[in-house]
Structure 1
Amino acid sequence: MRRAQAFVAGTVLAVFALVGGAAGASAAPAASHAPSAVSGKTYVIGTDTTFAPFEFRDGSGELIGIDMDLIRAIAKNQGFSVEIRSLGFDAALQALQSNQVDGVIAGMSITDKRKQIFDFSDPYFDSGVQMAVAKSNNDIKGYADLKGKTVAVKRGSEGETFANSIKDKYSFTVKPLDQSATMYDDVKAGNSVAVFDDYPVLAYGISQNNGLKAVTAKERGSSYGFAVNKGKNPELLAAFNKGLAELKANGQYQQVLDKYLKDPSKAANQSFIDLLVASFPALLKGLGLTLLATLLSLIIALVLGVVFGFFKVSHLVVLRGIATTYVSIFRGTPLLVQAFFFYFGLPQLTGIPINVLTAGVLTLSLNAGAYMTEIVRGGIQSVDPGQLEASRSLGLGYVTSMRRVIVPQAVKIMTPSFINQFVITLKDTSLLAVIGFAELTYQGQQIYASNFRTGETLLIVAALYFIVITLLTQLSNVLDRRFNK
């Protein structure tokens, strides 16, 4: 199995509309012999983000790999089009269950447990498990050498299942991690002595200079399949099976496998500068989406903060109750849970799909709005109440007194906190990578998933965050000094 399916329940109920776009890739259209059931249709296909050689991005940012080449070739053969959504494995399964995608192809093992939820195609790849160690490690040559040691596995993967099945026999500890690149780095750092991974993924990583070497033969494993929701899209499943059979018959299937497994292109030994130059376009694109999501979220959050902030200081119990409930919900639940709820949970409850930008902005704006509500409340209440009473005694109404006397003073008090919340929201966009939003952190993950230079890539990502946040903070401080003299 590739990863365990994640079920995340939210406690938040909110409906907010925002128009956004989601990125995808399209396959070439129709073959003349395409079946009428799928001919001319477009299907949305979910996939993983970092599972080379089945799905990963090349230097230009194009999503490639065995799964990608197969689904596009089958679509062309059978006369339909596909829009690819790179979400991450767990997120792709959640998107399938919430009907945001029509199918998933992501190196997904066919298991009896998954068959209860999904309908699978005919197997398109037979996998297996291998063990590898750091290149410099000459002590670990087999399972017997693992006694008393720790091995890294990918959480929910076939490698984890195999490692758990033999750990008692050989007396070692299993450490589940999230991604192949993370596992490999854990072994190279000496935190684990070995890694168990799907053999084609491991073999490809070794060919790309991931710093490991295989020390055992391949263990028999399960098969990968294309999945749709149980009882839905049977025509898509049938077209996939028919197309797969035709690709095997005409030799295209073997060509795809040979391209990535038999003789994969070797990774060049890039300098740090070469890595920076090669990755900068993708990172710049991610930075643009980070700033866009931050800007949209802060505009909405500011409106929410002002409205609910005044509700919090209102004399009306109902308004105070509404504001208190809103703040309690969004400050009392993790941002990650909120992101999963808006992208997966809300579509399941309403039946209305939500694209990733909309879900991301909903999450960030409602979360930041709760904190801005408290900033506004604190700013207003920090102004001496006697000033409101004095202005009222001079004949000014409540609204006029607030607008001319209280709010101008409160704004000066609130501005530093607003700047701080702006920085926090910008950094919080990195959490949206888990739902497939292609912001800066997501782009960094795409890069080191294919080149396995995790430390250097994350250093570049961190530097970009630091530079942007520093510049925007300085700009905010300048505006603060200018308008709040």
Structure 2
Amino acid sequence: MKKLFLSITAALFILFGGMSTAQADDYLRVGMEAAYAPFNWTQNDNSNGAVKIEGTNQYANGYDVQIAKKIASALNKKVLVVKTKWEGLVPALTSGKIDMIIAGMSPTEERKKEIAFSDAYYISEPTLVVNSKGKYANATKLSDFKGAKVTAQQGVYLYDLISQINGVQKEVAMGDFTQLRQAVESGIIDAYVSERPDALSAQNANPNLKMITLKDGFNTSESDTNIAVGLRKNDPIITKVNKVLDGISKTEQINLMDDMISRQPATVATDEKSSFFKQVVTIFKENWQQFLRGTGITLLISIVGTIVGLFIGLLIGVYRTAPLAANRVLAILQKAFGWLLNVYIEIFRGTPMIVQAMVIYYGTAQAFGISLDRTLAAIFIVSINTGAYMSEIVRGGIFAVDKGQFEAATALGFTHNQTMRKIVLPQVIRNILPATGNEFVINIKDTSVLNVISVVELYFSGNTVATQTYQYFQTFFIIAVIYFILTFTVTRILRYIEKRFDSDDYTTGANQMQTKVVN
């Protein structure tokens, strides 16, 4: 079974992992969500001037990508898109993971405290998106939305504009436009504030969504509506960037945006008479490669993370149950190291994995200049997180072994390590198998939070498909089914292993071993 796990892990790493990031000077690493059409989106080929997304077999395109290509050309470089969740863009820039942000970002005063901005390369116009069959489909002015449940994306100026609507029910901000569109379509909210290009794209792609053209719109400032390139503070490249942007006239901006709107990937055709499951099958057939790759990354991270975490837990469990050394100095050092292990366990059990991912991946680069490969960083994060939990599970498993076996081993002159290796750990491993399986299942699901450090796992891949097709319920149904298949299969495999441990051959061998030790 050990060889089987190692073989599976190696195969997954070859197929889905180990993808080195481009660090060469001839690449301009640009951060964006690649899921905010028409500013940026993900597609499966390099048609219409799309560029490569780092670490995947996919490509990015859109208005932002075309602007990035103009800047890169002036710098004699090629564009390499680093696909990153919105909340991870600024940390990615300040930590040196990317060279610039071109993602429809406004140069607000809050952001200016962290990063620098170029001149504007587009001026946005805020509007609202509603359900085309809903109560507010015929609204024409802000006052029509009195009493409406309205929200916007988290961390953008659009959310602050909601307060300008008298009597509005301002809902909690959401993480991305996928959630916003799904919430409007399902009736959870009545409207969300967006920018005109996104709203127009949503309306064209999904008949259930409608952009509201406001006669009397929001009051905005230039810092809000201007869309600019984000750069690190004191980056000398800003002069060249501004020179490129100054050469793009307002007419060229409008024409380029219109062109990108027309070139967006076509949404999956929806026949209202078609059943839900037929739509699901259509989406899967057209996007199975994205789902497959995301599933592979999820399995790679969860398998390696669980195995390494189990190994860490076993080492810590053995160490923490070891008797103090006879030498006083060694005993003090042993206690000090044990205290450090307790700190490690409490920190990683007491903080969310998404926070750990942000701190380890971006924090180490910003504070110490250590640049980690995102896949290796993800495996490391899951491993040490699992190790913290497994150490407590192992410790409990060791204490569950009858004390008489420890006493017998000590009487026979066994060292602590010999006692653990030959008598205790074989029993512990069997006893903690259910808990280990539970950790494995949790890791499969928790890899979804790693998209914050740009890991394109199953959820991130599925979310991209949803933004491309505008078929949110159908797409997330596919994701749910894949997660269920993974967790169900893992559970059944582990139960088979438990039965093998409980088999007569294993039990007989274990009893013979313990009898030999006692005699």
* Pair 1:85–1:180, CA change in 2 (3 A): same
Q: CA deviation at 1:42?
A: 2.5
For 1:349 and 1:430, how far apart are their aligned partners in 2? 26
Q: Indicate yes or no: 2:315 matched with 1:307.
A: yes
* Pair 1:264–1:351, CA change in 2 (3 A): closer
Name the stretch that deviates more: 308-317 or 397-406. Answer: 397-406
Q: CA deviation at 1:20?
A: 5.1
Match of 2:93 in 1: 96
Q: CA deviation at 1:279?
A: 1.8
Match of 1:275 in 2: 283
* Mapping for residues 360-439 of structure 1, pairs under 5 Å: 360-439=378-457
Match of 1:162 in 2: 161
> Helix, strand or coil: the match of 2:120?
coil
> Helix, strand or coil: the match of 1:136?
coil
Q: Indicate yes or no: 2:103 matched with 1:106.
A: yes
> Helix, strand or coil: the match of 1:353?
coil
For 1:397 and 1:193, how far apart are their aligned partners in 2? 69
Match of 1:296 in 2: 304
Give the unaligned 5+ runs of structure 2: 1-16, 46-57, 271-278, 325-334, 504-519
* Mapping for residues 114-263 of structure 1, pairs under 5 Å: 114-139=111-136, 141=139, 142-164=141-163, 166-167=164-165, 169-209=166-206, 211-217=208-214, 219=218, 222-232=225-235, 234-235=236-237, 237-246=238-247, 248=249, 256-261=256-261
> Helix, strand or coil: the match of 1:154?
coil
| Paired residues of 2:149 and 2:168 also in contact (CA < 8 A) | no
For 1:321 and 1:264, how far apart are their aligned partners in 2? 56
Q: Indicate yes or no: 2:441 matched with 1:444.
A: no
RMSD of aligned C-alpha atoms?
2.5
Task: Give the aligned residue type for 1:123.
Answer: A
* Pair 1:318–1:65, CA change in 2 (3 A): same
For 2:201 and 2:338, how far apart are their aligned partners in 1? 58
> Helix, strand or coil: the match of 2:133?
coil
Per-residue CA deviations over 1:238-263 (Å, capped at 9, x if unaligned) read: 333333345559x9756532222367
* Pair 1:228–1:348, CA change in 2 (3 A): same
Match of 1:52 in 2: 37
For 2:467 and 2:258, how far apart are their aligned partners in 1? 21
For 1:70 and 1:127, how far apart are their aligned partners in 2? 15
| Paired residues of 1:181 and 1:448 also in contact (CA < 8 A) | yes
Q: Indicate yes or no: 2:495 matched with 1:477.
A: yes
* Pair 1:430–1:268, CA change in 2 (3 A): closer
Match of 1:32 in 2: none
* Pair 1:199–1:279, CA change in 2 (3 A): same
Task: Give the aligned residue type for 2:159.
Answer: E
For 2:173 and 2:190, how far apart are their aligned partners in 1? 13
| Paired residues of 1:57 and 1:64 also in contact (CA < 8 A) | yes
| Paired residues of 2:433 and 2:494 also in contact (CA < 8 A) | no
Task: Give the aligned residue type for 1:436.
Answer: S
Query: Which among 320, 323, 327 is matched to residue 338 of structure 2?
Result: 320
Match of 1:4 in 2: none
* Pair 1:264–1:334, CA change in 2 (3 A): closer
Per-residue CA deviations over 1:270-297 (Å, capped at 9, x if unaligned) read: 4322111112110100111111112221
Task: Give the aligned residue type for 2:100.
Answer: G
Q: CA deviation at 1:78?
A: 4.0
* Identity fraction in percent: 27
Match of 2:50 in 1: none
For 1:426 and 1:66, how far apart are their aligned partners in 2? 35
* Mapping for residues 8-27 of structure 1, pairs under 5 Å: 21=19
Q: CA deviation at 1:171?
A: 4.3
> Helix, strand or coil: the match of 1:225?
strand
Which ranges of 4 or more aligned residues in structure 1 deviate by more than 6 Å?
none
TM-score of the two chains, using structure 2 as the length reference:
0.80
* Pair 1:245–1:78, CA change in 2 (3 A): farther
For 1:446 and 1:81, how far apart are their aligned partners in 2? 24
* Pair 1:327–1:192, CA change in 2 (3 A): same
For 1:62 and 1:177, how far apart are their aligned partners in 2? 26
| Paired residues of 1:129 and 1:158 also in contact (CA < 8 A) | no
Q: CA deviation at 1:436?
A: 1.4
Q: Indicate yes or no: 2:284 matched with 1:284.
A: no
For 2:242 and 2:447, how far apart are their aligned partners in 1? 39
TM-score of the two chains, using structure 1 as the length reference:
0.85
For 2:440 and 2:267, how far apart are their aligned partners in 1? 40
For 1:335 and 1:261, how far apart are their aligned partners in 2? 37
Task: Give the aligned residue type for 1:48.
Answer: E
For 1:59 and 1:81, how far apart are their aligned partners in 2? 19
| Paired residues of 1:289 and 1:438 also in contact (CA < 8 A) | yes
| Paired residues of 1:347 and 1:353 also in contact (CA < 8 A) | yes
Give the unaligned 5+ runs of structure 1: 1-18, 27-39
Aligned residue-pair number: 449
For 2:441 and 2:361, how far apart are their aligned partners in 1? 24
* Mapping for residues 18-97 of structure 1, pairs under 5 Å: 21=19, 41-60=26-45, 61-97=58-94
For 2:33 and 2:378, how far apart are their aligned partners in 1? 19
Q: CA deviation at 1:162?
A: 1.7
Q: CA deviation at 1:467?
A: 0.7
| Paired residues of 1:48 and 1:55 also in contact (CA < 8 A) | yes
Task: Give the aligned residue type for 1:298.
Answer: T
> Helix, strand or coil: the match of 2:323?
coil
Per-residue CA deviations over 1:452-482 (Å, capped at 9, x if unaligned) read: 2111111101111111221222222223322
Task: Give the aligned residue type for 2:394.
Answer: V
| Paired residues of 1:49 and 1:56 also in contact (CA < 8 A) | yes
> Helix, strand or coil: the match of 2:124?
strand
* Pair 1:253–1:134, CA change in 2 (3 A): closer
Q: Indicate yes or no: 2:388 matched with 1:359.
A: no
For 1:25 and 1:207, how far apart are their aligned partners in 2? 39
Q: CA deviation at 1:268?
A: 4.3
| Paired residues of 1:49 and 1:55 also in contact (CA < 8 A) | yes
Match of 2:7 in 1: none
Task: Give the aligned residue type for 1:419.
Answer: G
Match of 2:4 in 1: none
For 2:416 and 2:71, how far apart are their aligned partners in 1? 68
* Pair 1:172–1:143, CA change in 2 (3 A): farther
